A and B are shown apart, each in its own frame.
Chain A
Amino acid sequence: GAGVSQSPSNKVTEKGKDVELRCDPISGHTALYWYRQSLGQGLEFLIYFQGNSAPDKSGLPSDRFSAERTGGSVSTLTIQRTQQEDSAVYLCASSLRQGAETQYFGPGTRLLVL
């Protein structure tokens, strides 16, 4: 079946602009996660959603970052007033449920803030 998809695959924006990154999880997966990977760095957790529970936003680096998950499926990560340090690959993952389950990652969105 289809894996996790993300769009756009690449995004170049100017400092101060807002960007929206989209994630389509695997159908039927109730848990969805966002991570960030800066150049040459490991992955950094940002936020995750589990069913109808309140999301865990503990990894969001600032209040410029927000995320929504509509209808328990598609998720959008929004970065307002982008800064150059926001440049990174933003990865989305989904799993069947929260717990000791495999997380399936999408290909990521490469964001470059000029």
Chain B
Amino acid sequence: LAKTTQPISMDSYEGQEVNITCSHNNIATNDYITWYQQFPSQGPRFIIQGYKTKVTNEVASLFIPADRKSSTLSLPRVSLSDTAVYYCLVGDYNQGGKLIFGQGTELSVKP
């Protein structure tokens, strides 16, 4: 499974847009890009998944350039409750369901 690299931590303020970029230079043709969110003392929660271009749902947007070697999770107008660890994962889940988590990005949203 492709290795991912993302910033260890980020700070933001309420109301700002937050963009977290993940590098995955060795992504394979069949790999999808998935982001999970984890609050303290809870299990991770699926946010968004994409293969190419742009995906948007009620929570976030995911931007994937044509070469797919990176992806950017965009959180519009964050609030204090968005303070969490965000994980970027890459894998061909049709071949194996296990998720390989990296370090994640610890996002801290301040008032």
Contact = CB atoms under 8 A, between A and B. Distances in A.
Interface of A: 4, 31, 33, 35, 42-45, 48, 50, 56, 58-59, 91, 93, 95, 98-108
B60 to A, nearest CB: 14
Closest 10 CB pairs of A and B: A105-B43, A43-B101, A98-B97, A102-B46, A100-B93, A45-B98, A42-B101, A99-B94, A91-B43, A100-B32
* Secondary structure dominating the interface of B: loop
Nearest to A4: B43
B87 interface: yes
Most buried by A among B87, B94, B103: B94
Contact of A56 (B43, B93, B98, B101): B98
Given A56-B97, A98-B93, 5 more contacts: A33-B98, A43-B101, A93-B43, A102-B46, A105-B42
Contact of B97 (A43, A44, A50): A50
Contact of B96 (A44, A56, A103, A108): A56
Contacts of A103: 44, 46, 97, 99
A59 B43 contact: no
Interface of B: 32, 41-46, 49, 87, 93-94, 96-104
B43 A108 contact: yes
- The residue in A33, A42, A43, A91 that gathers the most chain B C-beta atoms within 10 A of its C-beta is A43
